[in-house]
Structure 1
Amino acid sequence: MSCLLNSEERKLIVKICKLYYFESWTQEKIAVKFGISRPAVSKLLQKARDESIVEILIHDDRLETSDLEKEIETAFDLRQVLVVPTRDLNQDLIYSTVGKATSQFVLKSMKQTERIGVSWGTTLFHMVKEFPFEQKENLKIIPLVGGMGNDKTEIHSNQIAYELSKKMGVKCESLYAPAVVETELLRDQLVQLPYIASVLEEGKQIDMALVGIGNPFAMSTMEQIGYLSQDVLQELKSLHAVADINSRFIDQNGELCKHPINEKVIGIELEHLKTVKMVIGIAVGLHKIDSILAALKGKYVHVLITDELTASSLVARLKENHLTVSSS
């Protein structure tokens, strides 16, 4: 209830509030300074709020992001969507912020997990970079797709598996093969080699998978590394390909594209990915909207982690297309 304050009392309250809210002084320290009791300080702080001398405003990004999460979860019957607040951040900070949020989510979700499979890409690189050093036991990291060469080695599946295993002090495997080879025959020969076959077999037994969702036509890592020629890109475009998961290409409905490149990949197949208990898909950027939609329609992931602007645009697209129920 409001009451009139004389100028001296108001001046005292302002001084106390500045020390308490700006200088982080304790009520006990303030009480000693002004020669009053701690309960008296508490009453004056309360009076400051009652008289609107102090207004407490909490900016909670979660209120907005939780609505986005719920809409996407409902539309695709997902276990969870994590929308990371990234408003006003530049591109580098968005990747590192999403990477940190992903690492925290993975840490919380890995109870009773014995094998984690990792794909490759920029988002996963940042997830591992932000991953805290936390000792684990009875855990193994498995690369889900091959990756060799000298370009962008830091985002290859083998390197991501290795760096993640170091953060947790656990073992990892290495898949010593390219992600994509020249012919189906060569692929068939390589996957029969014992040291490759054993890792691929372990990939089928993982409890959790961490996969990026790529767009083959915009900022494509596979194109930058040289796995995709312009001819192949044109062919994929004619087949309505919009996304790649674990180096395999899917169309806007989430169906595997009938293109020879999908038969030349050395890595876990998407049908095997669907048998994993928990698949976490991570995607950042507006150029990934169609790619994310395709991955969700194909039911390749149980959990989606993305940035705020991408999630907002995704929800806008859902409303535009009246997608409010789980896709069949």
Structure 2
Amino acid sequence: MFTHDAKNRDTTTLAVQVARLYYYQGLTTPQIADELGISRPKVSRLLSHARSQGLVEVRVLDPREQPQLLEAQLRSRYGVRSVKVVPLPPESSEAEALARVAQFSANYLSGLIRSGSVVGLAWGTTLDAVSRHLTPKRTENVDFVQLNGSGNARDIASVYSATILERFAQNFGGRAHPFPVPTFFDYEETKRAMWRERSVRQLVELQQRANLLVYSVGAQNAPVPSHVYVGGYLEARDLAELARDGVVGDIATVFFRGDGSYRGIALNARATGPDLELFKTAQHALCVVSGRAKVLALRAALLGGYMNELITDERTARLLLEMG
């Protein structure tokens, strides 16, 4: 008698076999059914399973349009290992663009997140959108760890970030590891003291072991605002300090300048996000970005080398390339 896990493995193996026959060899559904000795409806179900589980990535290559060319240009210019550009309908809004990028990213992550993964998540508007499009996939022994604290003066527990983390964990049958500290400490010495606590050290060590980091770049004036800038995390004096330091964006609430540098920015000493060097060494450092107002921050993050995989929309990709 098959166990549940054995049945899942058997289904996955058969789904891959069906997908290869369908996409690589060009066999029809009836031909596959005859070859494998299964019913035509089962062939259709297995093809759907292969797509929903990220075993198959279907892409339309239109020689008249540019997404694939944009991807190649961005890979060449910034040395990013993988770039995915999501096409947009003409005159689509910023909210529509984010929804399309979030949907694509959710499907893409289904193929990346496997049993045994440790996934670091930086909460925010973009990851919130991605979490709402996830397709359930059962995995074993997967940990989802929050990369930066999320408490502020209004909401020390931060239901917002906890909800994003929990959506990911429930979707993949994994464990959620929240980071129950403020986004920014009032005093640098308080942060140093907290980082000596065993519970915090264990969480930071789990972040360091993540083989997949998923995050976006924050920008202050985006039409779809980055949550850290509108959620009560920063005071007027903090924003003025960031302007003096030449900050153009952040990753996991760690701020950087237009050239990608981040050392010496005063607020980073009180921030709870990881040192940005972490994003240079992760096996998968996946940055998901959508929106005109994020182009400057995205360019700076690329210059800093803080990603090896990028998902963005067609309009943002074009603007990024136009910046030079």
TM over 0.5: yes
1-structure distance, mates of 2:64, 2:183: 38
Alignment deviations for residues 147-170 of structure 1 (CA, whole Å, 9 cap, x no partner):
1256694652x4322210001111
Gaps of 5+ in 2: 1-59
Using the TM superposition, give the Cα deviation of residue 195 of structure 1 relative to its aligned residue in structure 2, in angstroms. Answer: 2.2
Alignment deviations for residues 94-129 of structure 1 (CA, whole Å, 9 cap, x no partner):
222111100111122335752011001111111111
1-structure distance, mates of 2:323, 2:119: 32
Gaps of 5+ in 1: 1-57, 319-328
Question: In the alignment, which of 178, 202, 226 is matched to residue 182 of structure 2?
Answer: 178
Contact 2:287/2:307, CA 8 A, preserved across alignment: yes
TM-score (norm 1): 0.74
Using the TM superposition, give the Cα deviation of residue 265 of structure 1 relative to its aligned residue in structure 2, in angstroms. Answer: 1.4
2-structure distance, mates of 1:147, 1:132: 26
1-structure distance, mates of 2:100, 2:159: 19
2-structure distance, mates of 1:314, 1:176: 35
Q: Could you tell me which amino acid in structure 1 is paired with residue 292 of structure 2?
A: L
Question: In the alignment, which of 308, 311, 316 is matched to residue 314 of structure 2?
Answer: 308
Contact 2:98/2:291, CA 8 A, preserved across alignment: no
CA gap of 1:308–1:240, structure 2 versus 1, over 3 A, is same
Contact 1:289/1:314, CA 8 A, preserved across alignment: yes
**Partner residue, 2:202:** 198
CA gap of 1:59–1:234, structure 2 versus 1, over 3 A, is same
Using the TM superposition, give the Cα deviation of residue 254 of structure 1 relative to its aligned residue in structure 2, in angstroms. Answer: 0.5
**Partner residue, 1:66:** 68
CA gap of 1:95–1:220, structure 2 versus 1, over 3 A, is closer
Correspondence 1:1-328 to 2 at 5 A: 60=62, 63-88=65-90, 89-111=92-114, 114-149=117-152, 153=158, 155-156=160-161, 158-218=162-222, 219-318=225-324
Using the TM superposition, give the Cα deviation of residue 174 of structure 1 relative to its aligned residue in structure 2, in angstroms. Answer: 1.4
Q: Choose 241-250 or 186-195, whichever is displaced more.
A: 186-195
CA gap of 1:62–1:308, structure 2 versus 1, over 3 A, is farther
Larger radius of gyration: 1
CA gap of 1:269–1:253, structure 2 versus 1, over 3 A, is same
**Alignment partner of 1:95: what SS?**
helix
1-structure distance, mates of 2:72, 2:193: 46
Alignment deviations for residues 233-269 of structure 1 (CA, whole Å, 9 cap, x no partner):
2222222211101101111111005232101112322
**Alignment partner of 1:189: what SS?**
helix
Determine what percentage of the aligned residue pairs are the same residue.
23
TM-score (norm 2): 0.75
Aligned residues: 260
Q: Could you tell me which amino acid in structure 1 is paired with residue 199 of structure 2?
A: Y
Root-mean-square deviation (CA, aligned residues, Å) is: 2.2
